[in-house]
Amino acid sequence: MKRICAQAITLALTLALVSVASCGRTSTPQPTPPATAGTALTIDDQAEQEHGDDPGAAPSATPAPAAVDAATGYVQAWAHPSLDRAAWYAQLQPLVTPEYAELLADTDPANVPATTVTGAPRVVRSTTDMVVADVLTDAGGIRVTVVNRDGRWLIATVVPAPESP
């Protein structure tokens, strides 16, 4: 339990550092590599009931397979703390929104606690233009928000997934 808590804290700190690390940077989006096939596409009913639809938001919809694949692909690429900063960033930049790319630019991948994806993603919420999925890693769950930007599914935010009861 202490190890899981320590890993969760390390993950939260890493993500917080990413948020604070870069202000005022700009970047050019890159093409998204092909998505990985064979991902589960069910919505977690309890999580959907907790979130509901926000007024004015796109209506709930079946998760787009490409969005779920983008979430998993991002976490697979992110979970490489042994890569040097330039190589790590180069593989993540095409997968994320320009705004999120700015936050990742100064991140040291050595601070990433995960090294592998350990389970199928669990869709928490899905609309026609956004999918939120929890992706399990050897360091805990990662909640990934994927948005549709001009027909491309890109990662907009990443936070530690809440622990399941």
Compute CA distances 90 → 67, 118, 131, whole Å.
20, 23, 24
Question: Which residues are within 8 A (CB) of 47 and not within 5 positions of it... i.e. 6 or more apart?
Answer: 122, 124, 125
pLDDT of residue 71: 98
In the beta sheet, which residues pair with residue 140? 137
Compute CA distances 100 → 18, 44, 60, 85, whole Å.
9, 26, 24, 16
Q: What are phi and psi of 128, to 5 degrees?
A: -70, -20
pLDDT of residue 142: 97
pLDDT of residue 164: 60
pLDDT of residue 125: 96
DSSP string, 18-29: HHHH-SS-----
Question: Which residues are within 8 A (CB) of 4 and not within 5 positions of it... i.e. 6 or more apart?
Answer: 140
pLDDT mean by block of 10 residues, the chain; 165 residues: 42 41 36 38 42 58 95 97 96 97 94 95 96 96 97 96 75
Task: Give the separation between CA 103 and CA 107, rounded to whole angstroms.
Answer: 7
pLDDT of residue 56: 56
| Contact between residue 143 and residue 160 where contact means Cβ atoms under 8 Å apart | yes
Q: Which helix (H) or strand (E) holds 70?
A: helix 65-78
CA atoms within 13 A on the CB side of 46: 3
pLDDT of residue 61: 87
**Can you list the positions of beta strands (E) in the chain?**
122-126, 130-137, 140-149, 152-160
User: pTM for the whole thing?
Assistant: 0.68
pLDDT of residue 100: 97
